[in-house]
């Protein structure tokens, strides 16, 4: 058996493993899973899931008695649960429940319910772990129930009660929010809800009680399929109705901006004409808010990654893209001052933002109204941000608000007595630092504003 070096995140499941073959993601299936694989394939179960675009499709490349190799449809950019907005998270949770219900009805069951089994592709949440299905064993409870609660219901509840930033906790709690902590973070009134009492508080109590049972003395009671379906259905209807309490802060963002409609249109037009000349297929908009400027681009894009630090802005963009079926749009949450890091065993299971974006190789990077935040809020020097953008961009469209821009003034005033330390914030210094990494192709002042747009090309 030729055992290929597996992908660093693919080692937990003995059924098979993912590996990269000349840049292409492939999956090897071990003999231990042959029976399940054959049943899933021959019954048409896989095909039904592919046709409904809920499971990533694959084709079988080879088959021997030692391994089966499949090649899944490739996903250009994977986003992780801690980069999803509230409604994206909801969609991923609902997708998992849909698949579990469909599995049960067809004699299968999900053996795990990790949030990392889902990502976003072509504008939709999609299940990417093809080997997560096992045969349903009659009258057994759902093996992955606890995992579903800690990976999906828990984070969503914390977001509901404590704000959408709670979703970021998933980058620390790799295998879901610990139940005890989760239960302690819910308000007392949650104990009065029969749904929350049983699915969170009682579950936490039972898990705590049986955590020391290493001998397997506890008897698991049989649970009918209908009863399990009832659990899945109530989880689905509860999560579907779950909302955020907070008002979206970004909501009136474009009312707060310091320039007119005419300036907005000029900015959008300039960006559009530069982009149209470059004819990119894939772009990334760093600090793209709700995708307003990406939507103004008339050139047809294969994929536009639009990230922002504000979960609510990302959520607004996602809901809009979903409603308008703008499948090229991939919104996700990212703090440019602290981009998602590589985590998991060996720090290699989940890739960092930089690793993923370098592999994605965007043709154009947009950084609009973001340099003053990086430089003044984050104290990041121009040469550092230039080197950051140069690490993954071929072309960079960057907007520079001058020192007398009202936003810049506000940021500088907030520095109080340290204001003078930021005297280096000037367009001359900006150009000097960025010229180390980029050539200036175009430069355009936006009328009626204190802002300048640059089109930069990375030096060879």
Partner 1 sequence: MNFLYFDPAIGAMIVQAIVAAVAGVLLFSKNLLFKIKLFLGIVKTTDKDLFDDIDIEKSDIENKKSSDS
Q: Which of 130, 127, 106 is nearest to 115 (CA)?
A: 127
Three-state DSSP class for 310?
Answer: coil
Enumerate residues 109-128 that contact partner 1 by CB under 8 A.
Answer: 111-112
What is the smallest separation between the CB atom of 412 and partner 1, expressed in angstroms?
Answer: 41
What is the smallest separation between the CB atom of 225 and partner 1, expressed in angstroms?
Answer: 10
> Which H or E run contains 18?
strand 16-21
Told to check if 227 binds partner 1 by CB under 8 A, we report yes
| Tally of CB atoms within 10 A around 386 | 23
Stretch that binds partner 1, among 87-95, 273-281, 356-364, 394-402 (CB under 8 A): 87-95
Stretch that binds partner 1, among 56-64, 68-76, 137-145, 450-458 (CB under 8 A): 137-145
Task: Work out which of 90, 282, 372, 450 binds partner 1, going by CB under 8 A.
Answer: 90
Stretch that binds partner 1, among 9-17, 246-254, 327-335, 421-429 (CB under 8 A): 9-17
CA 68/CA 28 separation, integer angstroms: 6
CA 367/CA 452 separation, integer angstroms: 12
C-alpha dihedral sign at 109, 115, 118, 124: positive
What is the smallest separation between the CB atom of 112 and partner 1, expressed in angstroms?
Answer: 6
What is the smallest separation between the CB atom of 199 and partner 1, expressed in angstroms?
Answer: 6
Told to check if 216 binds partner 1 by CB under 8 A, we report yes
Enumerate residues 411-430 that contact partner 1 by CB under 8 A.
Answer: none
CA 348 → CA 12, 25, 173, 342, distances in Å?
A: 14, 16, 16, 6
What is the smallest separation between the CB atom of 177 and partner 1, expressed in angstroms?
Answer: 13
Number of residues that bind partner 1 (CB under 8 A): 64
What is the smallest separation between the CB atom of 442 and partner 1, expressed in angstroms?
Answer: 40
Enumerate residues 141-170 that contact partner 1 by CB under 8 A.
Answer: 141-143, 145-147, 149
Scanning 80-224, the segments in alpha helix (DSSP H) are 86-105, 145-148, 154-162, 179-185, 194-196, 203-209
Three-state DSSP class for 58?
Answer: strand
What is the smallest separation between the CB atom of 203 and partner 1, expressed in angstroms?
Answer: 5
What is the smallest separation between the CB atom of 64 and partner 1, expressed in angstroms?
Answer: 21
| Tally of CB atoms within 10 A around 366 | 27
Lay out the site mask for partner 1 across 178-207 (x = CB under 8 A, - = otherwise): ----------------xx-xxx--xx-xxx
Q: Which of 42, 175, 178, 182 is nearest to 107 (CA)?
A: 42
Told to check if 272 binds partner 1 by CB under 8 A, we report no
Q: Are 24 and 71 in contact (CB under 8 A)?
A: yes
Enumerate residues 238-267 that contact partner 1 by CB under 8 A.
Answer: 240
Task: Work out which of 58, 98, 160, 191 binds partner 1, going by CB under 8 A.
Answer: 98
Stretch that binds partner 1, among 211-219, 372-380, 433-441, 442-450 (CB under 8 A): 211-219
Task: Work out which of 4, 41, 101, 458 binds partner 1, going by CB under 8 A.
Answer: 101
Point out which residues pair with 126 in neighbouring strands. Answer: 119
CA 88/CA 322 separation, integer angstroms: 10
Told to check if 102 binds partner 1 by CB under 8 A, we report yes
What is the smallest separation between the CB atom of 222 and partner 1, expressed in angstroms?
Answer: 8
Q: Are 132 and 110 in contact (CB under 8 A)?
A: yes
Q: Are 76 and 303 in contact (CB under 8 A)?
A: yes
CA 204/CA 196 separation, integer angstroms: 11
Told to check if 322 binds partner 1 by CB under 8 A, we report yes
CA 407/CA 415 separation, integer angstroms: 13
Enumerate residues 43-82 that contact partner 1 by CB under 8 A.
Answer: 48-49, 51-52, 54
Nearer to partner 1, 115 or 283 (CB): 115
Q: Are 112 and 346 in contact (CB under 8 A)?
A: no
CA 180/CA 178 separation, integer angstroms: 6
CA 132/CA 81 separation, integer angstroms: 18
Positions that interact with partner 1 (CB under 8 A): 12-15, 32, 48-49, 51-52, 54, 87, 90-91, 94, 97-99, 101-102, 111-112, 134, 141-143, 145-147, 149, 175, 194-195, 197-199, 202-203, 205-211, 213, 216, 218-221, 223, 227-228, 230-234, 236-237, 240, 319, 322-323
């Amino acid at each position: 058996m030729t055992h290929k070096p597996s992908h660093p995140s693919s080692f937990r499941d003995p059924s098979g493993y993912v590996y990269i073959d000349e840049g292409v993601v492939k999956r090897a299936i071990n003999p231990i899973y042959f029976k399940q694989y054959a049943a899933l394939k021959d019954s048409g179960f896989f095909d039904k899931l592919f046709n409904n675009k809920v499971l990533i499709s694959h084709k079988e490349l080879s088959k021997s008695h030692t391994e089966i190799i499949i090649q899944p449809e490739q996903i250009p950019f994977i986003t992780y649960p801690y980069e999803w907005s509230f409604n994206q998270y909801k969609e991923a949770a609902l997708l998992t429940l849909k698949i579990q219900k469909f599995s049960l009805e067809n004699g299968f069951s999900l053996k795990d319910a990790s949030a990392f089994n889902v990502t976003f592709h072509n504008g939709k949440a999609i299940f990417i772990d093809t080997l997560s299905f096992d045969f349903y064993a009659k009258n057994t409870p759902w093996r992955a129930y606890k995992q579903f609660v800690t990976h999906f219901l828990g984070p969503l509840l914390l977001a509901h009660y404590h704000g959408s930033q709670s979703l970021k906790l998933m980058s620390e709690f790799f295998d879901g929010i610990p139940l005890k902590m989760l239960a302690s973070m819910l308000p007392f009134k949650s104990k009065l809800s029969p749904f929350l009492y049983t699915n969170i508080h009682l579950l936490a109590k039972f898990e705590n009680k049986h955590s020391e049972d290493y001998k397997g003395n506890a008897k698991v009671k049989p649970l009918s399929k209908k009863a399990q379906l009832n659990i899945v259905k109530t989880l689905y209807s509860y999560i579907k109705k779950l909302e955020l309490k907070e008002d979206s802060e970004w909501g009136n963002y474009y009312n707060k901006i310091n320039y007119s409609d005419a300036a907005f249109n000029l900015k959008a037009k300039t960006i559009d004409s530069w982009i149209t000349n470059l004819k990119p297929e894939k772009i990334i908009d760093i600090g793209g808010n709700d995708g307003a400027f990406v939507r103004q681009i008339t050139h047809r894009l294969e994929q536009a990654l639009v990230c922002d630090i504000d979960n609510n802005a990302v959520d607004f963009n996602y809901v809009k893209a979903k409603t308008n079926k703008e499948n090229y749009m991939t919104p996700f949450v990212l703090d440019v001052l602290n981009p998602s890091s590589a985590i998991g065993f060996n720090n290699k299971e989940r890739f960092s933002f930089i690793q993923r974006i370098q592999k994605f190789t965007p043709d154009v990077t947009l950084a609009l109204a973001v340099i003053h935040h990086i430089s003044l809020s984050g104290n990041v020097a121009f040469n550092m941000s230039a080197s950051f953008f140069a690490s993954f961009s071929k072309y960079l469209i960057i907007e520079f608000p001058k020192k007398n821009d009202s936003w810049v003034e506000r940021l500088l005033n907030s520095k109080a007595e340290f204001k003078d330390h930021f005297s280096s914030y000037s367009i001359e210094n900006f150009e000097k630092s960025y010229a180390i990494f980029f050539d200036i192709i175009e430069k355009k002042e936006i009328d009626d504003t204190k802002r300048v747009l640059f089109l930069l090309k990375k030096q060879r």
